[in-house]
Copies of this chain bind each other. A is one copy, B any other.
Amino acid sequence: MSLLVTGSIGIDSVETPHGKVENVLGGSAVYFSLAASLYTDVQMVGVVGEDFDMTQFDPLRDRRIDISGVERRAGSQTFRWQGKYQGAMNEAETVGVALNVLAERPAEIPAEYRDCQYVFLANTHPAAQAEFARQMSNSKLIVSDTMNLWIEHERAALLETLKLVHGLVLNEGEARMLTQESNLALAGRAILRMGPRFVVIKKGENGSLLVSNEGLFVAPAYPTTNTVDPTGCGDTFAGAMVGYLASQGQLDHATLRKGMARGSVVASFVIESFSIHALASVKKEQVEQRLRELVEISEIH
């Protein structure tokens, strides 16, 4: 089954304790698409400015990601993000951001994509996510992401959007902020009452937690020791997870769990390089190998 993703496409400059890079490809839709393409066909929808060099999409084309839904908007500039990670690199510090084209009207979902059954709405204004969700007339699964900015300042719009999606992926700080509940299992249950059928709470190096009406699942992170740059980890996790769901055509609890385990593993590659380098070159066999290791190191006998 093919999977449609809407999200940001950006030019990133990142500094970590392991080095720095300038003007490299980034953005939630890019990381998500590359990860999902390990499992299924991907249609990427987003918007870049006229400054964007379209050859930067070559690694996506190599993975047969359909980028015909990306608009290169004349007179606009591409989204740029400058970030820094320190210490354990658990949180990015935004040094500079230029929303540019992301502050204008959102991307258009091409008419021929609107019957896609699997949809991921990467983090953006919840009203734009709701508009995307309403355009998808044949959806079997819509998963969205969000962030602290919308939880704090656009709560009403976010709550409306949550009624339209089947799954929510967000990090632990966001889950606590959204629900005013510090216990993550309780926060997850509170989010289920807002609409989604399942919620996945990401905890970085501490893995992730699935909460659905069918129960809980705690997925460990794959413990890579080669942590170069965590940028894109969360979107990569979501990409592998939702990509796997689309590939299976099933949405039950057991399949969600399998998807999350794959998300953990694929995200562990992203962290091992700057930008999309490691993600774009990872082979399915490498993912399968780490998945076996993850099972081995987490199995309780």
Binding site for B on A (CB under 8 A): 87-89, 176, 182-186, 203, 205-207, 209, 215-220, 223, 225, 227, 254, 257-258, 261, 291, 294-301
Contact = CB atoms under 8 A, between A and B. Distances in A.
Given A182-B87, A258-B301, A300-B298, A216 B223 contact: yes
Nearest to A90: B182
A294 B301 contact: no
Contacts of A87: 182
Given A203-B206, A298-B217, A299-B299, A225 B186 contact: yes
B209 A223 contact: yes
A85 B140 CA distance: 43
Contacts of A295: 300
A296 B148 CA distance: 32
Contacts of A257: 300-301
A227 B218 CA distance: 18
Nearest to A264: B300
B88 A227 contact: no
Nearest to A220: B218
Nearest to A217: B297
A300 B216 contact: no
Contact of A183 (B215, B227, B297): B227
Nearest to A176: B88
A206 to B, nearest CB: 4
Given A183-B227, A254-B301, A257-B300, 9 more contacts: A88-B182, A88-B183, A183-B225, A207-B218, A215-B297, A219-B300, A261-B300, A294-B300, A298-B298
Contact of A216 (B183, B206, B207, B297): B297
Contacts of A89: 182
A190 to B, nearest CB: 11
A176 B89 CA distance: 13
A262 to B, nearest CB: 10
Contacts of A294: 300
A254 B298 CA distance: 12
Contacts of A205: 184
A254 B299 CA distance: 10
Contacts of A258: 300-301
B298 A225 contact: no
Nearest to A261: B300
A227 B301 CA distance: 26
Nearest to A86: B182
